Amino acid sequence: MSRLFCICFFGTKIYPIFARMSKNENIMNKVLIIDDEPQIRQLLARILGLEGYEVLQAGDCKAAVKQMEYSPNVILCDVFLPDGNGVDFIKTIKKISPESEIILLTAHGNIPDGVQAIKNGAFDYITKGDDNNKIIPLISRAMEKARTNGVKNRPEKETFQQYSFNSILGQSKPLLEAIALARKVASTDVPVLLTGETGTGKEVFAQAIHHESKRNKGNFVAINCSAFSKELLESEIFGHKAGSFTGALKDKKGLFEEAHNGTIFLDEIGEMAIELQAKLLRVLETGEYIKIGETKPTSVNVRIIAATNRNLPEEINAGHFREDLFYRLSVFQIHLPPLRERPGDIRLLTEAFVQSLSEKMTHSSKTVSKAFIDMLEQQEWKGNVRELRNVIERSLIVCENDELHPEDLPIEIQNAAFKEKSSNNSGFELSAMEKRHIARVLDYTNGNKTEAAKLLKIGLTTLYRKIEEYKL
């Protein structure tokens, strides 16, 4: 069972910082909002929905228990509910899922409620208003920890299969070369720098390196360096001492401590403030760092895997990245190829995504037509494997048959393929003009075929026939 992470809201004030939540790229993306005020729920649902989360809602404890059957990973819960109290409800959540991580968001510095929440099983608490700028980093940290703890509780064989190099799909030469390098470095303790475009699977490689290393019994802790300001990132990574700044009510362990005897993955390392780079360099050289507000160093035994989509030598020349840190991080560098350099893997990836996503979305097993694959292979895939997965998921939602066809793809992909085909003289033919016009109308209606048929002033059956004829 996946871990749950809960925030209990005291009062009804909503802070705009929620709008800055960065998308979590792992599989944990379900959020349950428990609040008896519909406007609060809808506002939060919209904000979280825009961030890519699947949102569930409940107006009281009873409804929340039913929604928990859908295994939400995050629960946002008001304290004052029609049929219960959020602090007491923590006990119920613990019974349903003993693995829960619970963070209490208190109002007006309500320390007694915070203390009681900790006794009831909450992981932490912060004060609303004074600490509202810490909510998002805390959510990010909890999500990463939830994934790590979830991995711990899975059977060892299942965990190894999911995170081993064998789980990385592809047979292209550049990908196999990258896997071969990663396998060689996995058994060592040297730092690794993963480079490549966004969406090429850098975190997947980092997970595989960790789980096939001698540190696989320890934690794998990941953080996106671009998601935090300098001050918040320093606190998240290195931790702080109580009283070191306003709102620091208790000592806080940093992610390096969480990753002790394990691996820390620093994604988007090129975004780290240059002041923090010096502190990271000290960890690499001595295994020590000083927490915010501390005077004595903290020692850790951690392997560092970093990743970036930036050209770090160029960043060094621009004065944005330390050259000495670059050489320490890039002891072993692996470049992950973009999807356009491995088109032969698109069919394999597509079929795997269709199978796994169909099961997740409770669809019956679906097949993939050759025309569907052909159209996918024509794309540039600037978002790489992540973009391909998103397209497959969208196509499964709109598909009404047992086989995926080109018309199930987003209209922009259909249009791009159409433009490619019509770049020769056939574009002057009457049928080509009709095809192009229908495609433009479908684009205008965002793929709504009923609305498109009305604008074209033809029957819906005729439109479907022409879509099939023109392979739109």
CATH 3.40.50.300 domain residues, the chain: 155-337
pLDDT on residue 68:
79
Report the largest interatomic distance among the alpha carbons of the chain, rounded to a whole angstrom: 79
CATH 3.40.50.2300 domain residues, the chain: 5-149
pLDDT on residue 17:
31
Class of domain 5-149: alpha beta
Nearest-5° angle of CA 233, CA 317, CA 337? 75
Q: Which residue has the tokens 């608490």?
A: 125
CATH 1.10.8.60 domain residues, the chain: 341-405
User: Could you state, in chain order, the average pLDDT of each consecutive group of 10 residues for the chain (472 residues)?
Assistant: 47 35 45 80 74 77 83 75 82 76 65 69 63 60 64 50 80 93 95 95 94 92 87 88 74 89 95 94 94 91 96 95 96 95 92 85 79 90 92 88 89 73 53 78 82 86 84 77
d(CA 170, CA 343): 10
pLDDT on residue 256:
94
Class of domain 410-472: mainly alpha
pLDDT on residue 411:
84
CATH 3.40.50.720 fits 155-337, yes or no: no
pLDDT on residue 172:
92
CATH 1.10.8.60 fits 341-405, yes or no: yes
Q: Which of 102, 105, 118, 146 is nearest to 12 (CA)?
A: 105
Paired strand residues for 252:
240
b/e per residue 135-167 (b: at least 16 CB within 10 A): bbbbbbbbbbbbbbebbeeeeeeebeeebebee
CATH 1.10.10.60 domain residues, the chain: 410-472
